[in-house]
Amino acid sequence: MIQLFIPLNFLGFIYREIREALTNIERLFGLLGQPVKVADRADAHELEVRGGTVQFDAVSFAYDAQRPILQGVSFEIPAGHTLAIVGPSGAGKSTLARLLFRFYDVGGGAIRIDGQDLRELTQHSLRRAIGVVPQDTVLFNDSIGYNIAYGSPGASEEQIWAALRAAQLEDFVRRLPDGLQTQVGERGLKLSGGEKQRIAIARVLLKNPPILILDEATSSLDTHAERLILEALNAVSARRTTLAIAHRLSTIVHAERILVLDQGRVVEQGTHAQLLAAGGAYARLWADQQRDGA
């Protein structure tokens, strides 16, 4: 009996590990779309976060040499602050996020966190310091509690509830008959896009990384759901260095700083009011989205 039990238990463990790894990768691919293509240097060292200032310094990048995607992109996100990135489809917004997560190395220039060039760091230590809230969250066929805590072994139930509260999901989960044990995913409770995104936010709150990549929600959310998400996003980005990719300008009207990307170049920077007054690329994007009712 013991002989049978141990291997099965062990197999269950292995299965869980593999499934986690796959879903994790799938999730990141869902957001960032690309396989990992870089290797650690032999002398790579661990990222030492001292606040989490992110700096893009004259970054250029091309997926293939014939077609430059980013050209001389420079900006800094001071530790604990948020930068919203906007721009037309194909401008290179998600590419910035992929480079910060180091799915690729830059072609020219450098990306640094607290002065440390990403190419000199271990990928493990870099990714441990960065939380990602994708638009489309893939859930495990497991409980809500498991889905929130899987990146944070050792999290207490109290901590999970605190994360749910900040992610505007506490009432929703308390009303479920099985609470944290409620099964979700393909074989369980189906969650809306907004609820899934708030699960991702709770996950990141629990992981508590100093740096955050947000891929902000797009359409098809009613105003109540949208308000809950915005509140949850505010909770998760507070005091974290945040790169927020905004698809709809209405979500970033109050952002402290907005960077406008067009054809791989930074064309404008400022607050919503400043950029509207400037009457340039941002003002045109805004007018387009107002007209389309976005």
The tokens 């796959």 sit on which residue? 22
Binding residue count for ligand ATP, defined by CB under 6 A: 11
Q: Does the protein bind ligand ATP through residue 225 (CB under 6 A)?
A: no
Which residues have CB under 8 Å from 202's CB, separation 6+?
A: 148, 160, 163, 164, 166, 167, 169
- What's the distance, CA 286 to chain centroid? 24
Which pair of tokens denotes residue 107?
């072609």
Among 20, 24, 29, 34, binds ligand ATP (CB under 6 A): 34
Q: Does the protein bind ligand ATP through residue 94 (CB under 6 A)?
A: yes
| Stretch binding ligand ATP (CB under 6 A), from 85-93, 108-116, 155-163, 183-191 | 85-93
Strands (E), 123-281: 130-133, 211-215, 241-245, 258-262, 265-270
Asked whether the beta carbons of 248 and 283 are under 8 A apart, the reply is no
Q: Does the protein bind ligand ATP through residue 134 (CB under 6 A)?
A: no
Q: Does the protein bind ligand ATP through residue 91 (CB under 6 A)?
A: yes
| Stretch binding ligand ATP (CB under 6 A), from 93-101, 111-119, 128-136, 160-168 | 93-101
Which pair of tokens denotes residue 126?
């870099």
Q: How many CB atoms lie within 10 A of CB 4?
A: 8
Question: 12-47 b/e with 16+ CB inside 10 Å = b?
Answer: eeeeeeeeeeebeeebbeebbeeeeeeebeeebeeb
Q: Does the protein bind ligand ATP through residue 35 (CB under 6 A)?
A: no
Q: In the complex with ligand ATP, which residue's Cβ is closer, 95 or 143?
A: 95
- What's the distance, CA 160 to chain centroid? 19
Among 63, 171, 176, 290, binds ligand ATP (CB under 6 A): 63
Among 3, 89, 177, 223, binds ligand ATP (CB under 6 A): 89
Nearest CA to 174 among 200, 151, 144? 144
Among 12, 51, 90, 279, binds ligand ATP (CB under 6 A): 90
Least separation in angstroms between residue 242's CB and ligand ATP is 17
Among 69, 77, 167, 201, binds ligand ATP (CB under 6 A): 69
Least separation in angstroms between residue 216's CB and ligand ATP is 11
Q: Which residues bind ligand ATP (CB under 6 A)?
A: 34, 63, 69, 87, 89-95
